A = this chain, B = another copy of it.
Amino acid sequence: MTPEEFRRHGRQVVDWIADYLAGIESHPVMSQVKPGEIRRALPSAPPERGEPFESVLSDLERLLLPGITHWQHPGFFAYFPSNASGPAILGDLLSSGLGVQGMLWVTSPACTELETVVVDWLAELLGLPGHFRTDAAGGGVIQDSASSACLVALLAALHRAGDGRVTEEGITRRYALYVSSQTHSSLERAARIAGLGAAGVRLVDVDPRTLAMDPAHLRTLLDRDRADGIVPAMVCATVGTTSTTAVDPVPEIGAVCRERGVWLHVDAAYAGVATVCPELRWLNDGVAEYADSYATNPHKWLLTNFDCGVLWTADRGPLLAALSSLPEYLRNAATSAGSVIDYRDWQVPLGRRFRALKLWSVIRWYGAEGLRAHIRQGVGLAQELAGWIAADPGFEPHEPHPLGLVCFRPRWPGLDAREADRATMRLLELLNASGSMYLTHTRIGDRAVLRMAIGGAATERRHVEQAWERIRTEHAALSRTLPGH
């Protein structure tokens, strides 16, 4: 494709996206296709001859769009938001257009140095400690996701816990990772990937009401393992769990880790970016004092399209020791002089895209005040929704709900717990099939509850109101069909 063809088709794509975003409410939020439907609509063999670009666009519209679940739809309340904003999309487009690969400083110095600048900017915006900055002992790096960030943190923690032996000799003794039942599943996966196995994961008790990790039980487990000759490698505290946005008590957990010399990773994948608002800065309590590593995802709630997670560490030494390698074909003067950062030593893959461009573009377009306004919009709407739920005798909200997620249980008078859970799941299906919203569920105290996560860039008050109105209506209608009514 020549530059002039690119110019022409690029405009078509930009227009297509602008039209798509402007008209996104005309689509059902959640795709209603059956398994295999999209696949069967596509040719089973690749074309021998090239086709015009217009065919790609028309097939996208005609064949693929019915199979798209619209994450940018204002009625998308499932999972956490995955904001794609204009400046992020365009920053990403610039990255694709430049087509540079920033594995080493020397392979495109601006790719590395802009990343250093924007992760330092973000640390400042979120009020993270000065030692996380790249000009101190620590440093930040963009990862594809919080899953990869926690794996990298675990590798650094294992390096430190084993005095370098894990990197050299592998897992030759037993190490353990400490999480709670509410910790993201990627931590257990990281333990499996790193050779600890599922058996190397300890589940620390949680407070049954707040679902926050119990520091006293953590201490008990650490001491028991030490007594058994098992080396505690890392504790993961979560600030804003995926299930309910529970906040683990980082200061207390951190104190236990410090006493016992164990690496503390703070997973703030969703909630971390909210600390751009001073009134939510309490979410960082204990991080400056105790966290060895910390991760949050601008690609969730900070208007930066996937993938863009940021991992910071208080000391980059163990991370680099765990992941560095330097084959001959990557040797170069700048690396040898030690005067530059080579981010490929900070991550699992070798190659890397110029992802800093999109985060830079987002921060510049919105500014700190625009980012705060976006977070406040999501939190404000969620608090309003929680108020409506609490005021309605048909529903019971889960407390607390300090951020953009509200979990709530529909009441089904006359049904036992199992029947009620089945009715809740049936209500969820009906709501998602309506096309006007997409919610998910979780379990709290072994009861099914609905999760409604607010924070989409396009979500306004009217969308939350409409969703709530429909939830109430469908709940009432379903209640009338149930036995005992």
Contact = CB atoms under 8 A, between A and B. Distances in A.
Contacts of A121: 45-46
Given A99-B305, A242-B329, A93 B349 contact: no
Given A93-B96, A99-B306, A350-B145, A366 B10 contact: no
A364 B58 CA distance: 13
Contacts of A90: 6, 9-10, 13, 53
A108 B349 contact: no
Interface residues of A, number: 159
B71 A192 contact: no
Give 6 nearest A-B pairs by CB, closest first: A195-B195, A1-B86, A170-B197, A67-B110, A84-B99, A10-B14
A325 interface: yes
A56 B96 contact: no
B51 A364 contact: yes
Interface string A150-164: 010001000000000
Interface string A1-42: 111111101110111111111100000000101011111001
Contact of A21 (B15, B44, B97): B97
Interface stretch (A219-227, A383-391, A438-446, A474-482): A438-446
Interface string A195-215: 111111000000000000000
Interface in A58-91: 60, 64-72, 78-79, 82-91
B329 A113 contact: no
Given A89-B6, A307-B351, A195 B168 contact: no
A309 to B, nearest CB: 9
A484 B96 CA distance: 49
B51 A144 contact: no
Nearest to A353: B306
A38 B105 CA distance: 11
A125 interface: yes
Interface stretch (A181-189, A258-266, A277-285, A412-420): A181-189
Contacts of A47: 363-364, 367-368
A459 interface: no
